[in-house]
């Protein structure tokens, strides 16, 4: 299996979705590709930031297409990526977070 890839042109960032993958398949993929465990345990979803040369890769895994689980993991990734780029959450202007979360959800659930 191959993950679903999404390139966000606004942020010039790659995201990889593993929606509906079995935990063992995701764990195997992460171990083979990045050389360490995804530490899934009994989780129903997991978000990871992986360094791959000169870029960070954001991986989003959920055991199902349950929108609440997907949104939970996408929000982690949204916060991490924007934080890495110097954006601080501002409740009076949360548009960067809202737009990125919306894009990730749209792509994850296609």
pLDDT tens digits, 40-76: 988 999 999 998 777 889 999 999 999 999 999 999 9
| Mean per-residue pLDDT of the chain | 94
The answer to whether the beta carbons of residues 44 and 69 sit under 8 Å apart is yes
Contacts of 25 (CB under 8 A, 6+ apart): 1, 18
Q: Taking the mean position of all CA atoms in its chain, how far away is CA 42?
A: 18
H-run or E-run covering 10: none
Q: Where are the domains of the chain?
A: 4-108
Q: Which two three-digit tokens encode residue 46?
A: 């997991």
Q: How far apart are CA 65 and CA 83, in angstroms?
A: 26
Distances (CA, A) of 57 to 11, 49, 93, 94: 13, 6, 26, 23
Q: What is the mean pLDDT of residues 13-28?
A: 96
Contacts of 16 (CB under 8 A, 6+ apart): 3, 4, 5, 6, 57, 58, 59, 60
Q: Which tens digits make up the pLDDT trace of 82-99?
A: 999 999 888 899 999 999
């Amino acid at each position: 299996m191959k993950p679903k890839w999404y390139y966000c042109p606004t942020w010039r960032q790659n995201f990889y979705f593993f929606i509906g993958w079995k935990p063992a398949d995701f764990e195997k993929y992460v171990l083979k590709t990045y050389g360490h465990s995804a530490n899934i345990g009994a989780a129903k979803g997991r978000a990871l930031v992986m360094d791959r040369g000169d870029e960070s890769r954001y991986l989003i895994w959920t055991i199902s297409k349950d929108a609440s689980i997907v949104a939970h993991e996408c929000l982690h990734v949204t916060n991490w990526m924007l934080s890495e780029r110097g954006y601080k959450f501002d409740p009076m202007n949360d548009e960067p977070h809202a737009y990125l979360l919306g894009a990730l959800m749209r792509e994850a659930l296609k």
